[in-house]
Structure 1
Amino acid sequence: MTRPALAPAAALRRYVKICALFWLPLGLTIAPLILLFTERGIPMAAIAGFFAVHSLTAAALELPTGGLSDVLGRRAVLATAGLLNLAALTLVALGTAPWLLVLGMALLGTGRALSSGPAEAWYVDTVRAHSGPGADLRTGLARGSSATSAALAAGTLLGGALPWLTGLVPGLGAGLAGATAGLVVPLCLPLLLGAAVEAAFVSYVVTSLPEPPRPKATLRHVLRDVPATVAGGLRLGGRDALVRRVFLSAGAAGGAVAAIELLTPRRAAGLTGAAESGAVLFAALACAGFLCAALGSHLAPLAARLAGSGERAVMLGLGTGASGVLLLGATSAATGAVAMVLAATGYGLVYLGLGAAGPSQNEVLHRRVTDRGRATALSVQSLALQLAGALAGLIVGHLPAGPLPWLLGGAALLAGALLWTRGAGRPAPAAAQEAPSGDPSGALTHR
């Protein structure tokens, strides 16, 4: 592989900026999106359908797009993700017809699938090419994860505040709606701001992510190599015990987070006594959760040193998250200030633990795969998280209110932690060595 011009420190700075620029627009949508749909007159059943379109599109394209990144290159796929998100946010912000909103959510899901591996794979490729297979990855992954969480937190606050601030200016909201025939309303301003940030993201990706030259990819090349790379990623989980733990614990985290996201809004409304004030509390909790995740990610290298290994750090992080979910379940029937404090503490522990576990978990993954299959492996991990989250959401939605749904999420995360109680076993294979070009199934190393 051609030695890249970027040193690891420069690659880290660019990776952190990429993480922040990509996730800030999505954070801007968290607070206003459902309210915007409601203001457009969309019934709740249709809104649920929109989100289902997003989730199913992302899940269906997760593996093919990961393979596409490994075949065509990180920069091209990441820039395409940004362009699709730009179009999606514009359509969702300004669209009033249901078909436009469905198209926007499908594009958003496609962008999500395209983005699930290329940036991290680019950073790992660059550092390993410069410093060799023994390069420290955990610190950089931790900083990227912290930047992601901080961007989501900032986006959540700004996305919730911008429509409110617009309403403080007399006549501004009505003037915008009148001048645009009702297309631009205060609730769509965060999404339009997100589209502008996506344009900056695409520009930065194109100009700031150098890659070594790749063989020219023809249509026949793509059709041949992408399925082979995807198949290699799926086989990897069956052949490598550590990678299998990464995928299974990602599913455990997905199930726990899905339960929390479904149950917390109702819990917040119960604590405050009204849906409106509950929504405000939930927004504050979501922001606090992202900040706790950022803190956990920042502390991940320290946690690994104190625990003695990355594997033990993953176990402790997931265990901390499980204790947070169980604390939420224990206070689910309680009321009053004490219950609110305990619930907030549990919520913070969940995201602190997940944030601390993530960088060490991904470092394990990157040390077991080759550059040719790195993005695909990340896509398999993301797919495990999404599918487990969807299944957990369906189960939790049919359980009676009370501690039981919370306990299900806590049990899932605890099971993920228990996966890491065993030792690492044999040393990682030489993932830095590329698989032979004539053996597509060797794109990912395995035991």
Structure 2
Amino acid sequence: MKTTTVSQAARSIERTYYLLLGLFWFGTGLPMATGFLLAQARGLDLFELGLVLGAYSLTIVLLEVPTGGLADAVGRKRVALLAYICALLSSLLFVFALSFPAMLLAFVLNGVSRALASGALDAWFVDTFQAADPGAELQPALARAGTVSLLALGVGSLLGSALPTLFAGLAPEGTAVLTPLATPLIASVWARMALLALAALLVHESAPPAGTPARSWLEGARQVPDMIRTGLAVSRRSPTILRLLGVSFASGVVLISLEALWQPHFARLLGGSEGRSLLFGLIMGGNFFAGMAGNLLSIPLLRLLKGRYGLVAALFQGLRGVGLMFLALQGAPVPAVLLFWWVYLGMGVVNSPHATLMNAEIPAAHRSSMLSIESLVAYLGSLLGSAGLSYLAEQTSVGVAWFAGGVILVLSLGLYLSVDALPRGEERRHVARHTLVEPNQAPDTG
């Protein structure tokens, strides 16, 4: 039985996880509002910006699952540290990048970092937290982690937006490395260095079982195909995981349309974007706070509904889908902003129940691989949404594209309801009995 009290050891692991997660997203948020402006000031045109973004995306798609397998093979801490090193090098290179090739390399390194980081620290946290206190509830910890991530991202973005103004006396853009728009990146470098040092000091990973030597990077790389095959086998044979991956894909389709289209949509509602940068910043900041509120709201909701993770996720998946449909039909700015925030609040509520359901079905030895597979599925959904819903918006309107996205979200709530109807204990035993094989060990066909 899960308990609401958590041991001191588990609390210590939580604090470490939140600190590292916060630093990671704080460093990510710092250049969020000014990074593209800096690239343009240094001579990149819109086509070249599209190329570097495409290279970043392609890098993540190609490396997402292999790097998850690598984390399971050589250790989550080692892969997380490598991810933070790549993030640091990417930020440093971006600071000094004055040409398209240098900028391209910086974005590719950032893509490598994101692929390596995906699942590594999360898998370490889930396994060490549950090992420290097997009776503790995972969902509240994951909800607080989501709150920390959004808060760090919002604070980083806000501070990054203010730094160029604070250092407006530096050299004009395009004439030197140290310019006002470069200051958020320099701050990000310091945040990345702090993250790397603290992760090296504070993350402690269990040693391999007695008689099992620690794998080298080369040995770990050789294990990656087996890790991926086993992870895919777990996905195929688990009804719960298949349904959750379906929801991740659907959510990815819709989320990218929100992120890509909200600015032109609200610019139209407001009669243009000129002179309204502060208002746009408030709208974006409201998203972060709405997501934080959703994460925190999920904790008492799940206690009220006695841990019905699938039911809570289904309820708010549907509510945010309906909210998106009403947003698509809304022509007045104030109700549109409130509905926009409602959609992000619903996403915040859904995230931690979804993650709890997924982690409950994943064997510890393959957690990084499975989380990376889920991340890849969501990313493929975002690629489809970027092409499909953006094309629909171009041919019709943003409202039509968002209404279609709302329908997708409402339809996907059925997957959560079907997960809620599954017998949880029997499902986990089914997975454990039929799919878990060690790397380099063929499944028993007898």
Q: Which amino acid aligns with 2:219?
A: H
Answer yes or no: is the 8 Å Cα contact 2:76–2:120 preserved in 1.
yes
Percent identity (aligned): 28
Q: Is the 8 A contact 2:74 2:217 kept in 1?
A: no
Q: Deviations over 1:263-291 (max 9, x none)?
A: 11102222333334354433322221112
Aligned-pair CA distance for 1:435:
4.8
Residue 354 of structure 2 aligns with which residue? 361
Q: What pairs up with 1:121-270 in 2 under 5 angstroms?
A: 121-132=123-134, 134-167=135-168, 172-174=169-171, 182-214=176-208, 215-218=213-216, 221-270=219-268
* 415-424 or 90-99: bigger deviation: 415-424
TM-score, L = length of structure 2: 0.90
Map 1:22-421 onto structure 2 (within 5 A): 22-132=24-134, 134-167=135-168, 172-174=169-171, 182-214=176-208, 215-218=213-216, 221-308=219-306, 309-331=308-330, 334=331, 339-399=332-392, 400-421=396-417
8 Å contact kept, 2:249–2:378: yes
**Which residue identity is paired with 2:343?**
V
Could you say what secondary structure the match of 1:277 adopts? coil
Q: CA contact under 8 A between 2:226 and 2:439: conserved in structure 1?
A: no
Change (3 A) 1:259 1:21: same
After superposition, the Cα gap between the structure-2 partners of 1:324 and 1:157, relative to the gap in structure 1 and judged at 3 Å, is farther
The 1:438/1:183 distance shift into structure 2, 3 A limit, reads closer
- Shift in Å, 1:390: 1.0
For 1:229 and 1:424, the matched residues in 2 are separated by 30
1:111-134 Cα shifts (integer Å, max 9, x gaps) = 1111111111111111221223x4
Q: TM-score normalized by structure 1? A: 0.89
Asked if 1 retains the 8 angstrom alpha-carbon contact of 2:86 and 2:110, the reply is yes
Distance 1:379 1:20, change over 3 A: same
Look up the SS of the partner of 1:298 in the other structure: helix
What is the one-letter code of the residue matched to 1:205?
A
- Take 1:427 and 1:440, find their aligned partners in 2: how far apart are those partners? 28
Q: Secondary structure at the match of 2:361?
A: coil
Cα separation, partners in 2 of 1:17 and 1:424, compared to 1, 3 Å: farther
Q: Does the Cα contact within 8 Å between 1:270 and 1:278 map onto a contact in 2?
A: no
Correspondence 1:423-434 to 2 at 5 A: 423-428=420-425, 429=428
Q: Distance in 2 between matches of 1:282 and 1:420?
A: 33
Give the secondary-structure state (helix, strand or coil) at the position aligned to 1:367: helix
* Structure 1 residue 340: Cα displacement: 1.4
Name the CA distance, whole Å, in 2 between partners of 1:151 and 1:408: 31
CA distance in 1, matches of 2:442, 2:252: 28
Q: Supply the distance in 2 between the matched residues of 1:320 and 1:8 (Cα, whole angstroms).
A: 34
CA contact (8 A) 1:36 1:188 kept: yes
1:6 CA displacement:
7.5
In structure 2, list runs of 5 or more residues that go unmatched: 1-6
Aligned partners of 1:24 and 1:155 also within 8 Å: yes
How far the C-alpha of 1:432 sits from its partner, in A, is 9.1
* Matched length: 424
Q: Give the letter aligned to residue 162 of structure 2.
A: A
Q: How big is each residue's C-alpha offset from its partner over 1:383-418, in whole Å with a ceiling of 9 and x where there is no partner?
A: 111110111011122222242111122122222222
Instruction: State the Cα RMSD in Å.
Output: 2.2
C-alpha contact 1:313 1:357 (8 A) present in aligned 2: yes
The 3-state SS of whatever aligns with 2:424 is coil
Decide whether aligned partners of structure 1 residues 419 and 81 sit closer, same or farther in structure 2, where only a CA change above 3 A counts. same
Give, as a single letter, the amino acid of the residue that structure 2 aligns with 1:405. A
Alpha-carbon spacing, 1:189–1:8, altered in 2? closer, same or farther (3 Å): same
Distance change in 2, residues 1:165/1:115 (3 Å)? same
Equivalent-residue separation in structure 1 for 2:371 and 2:233 (angstroms): 14
Give the Å deviation of 1:362: 0.8
Structure 1 residues 79 and 220, CA gap change in structure 2 (3 angstroms): closer
| Partner SS, residue 182 of structure 1 | coil
C-alpha distance in 1 between matches for 2:237 and 2:362: 12
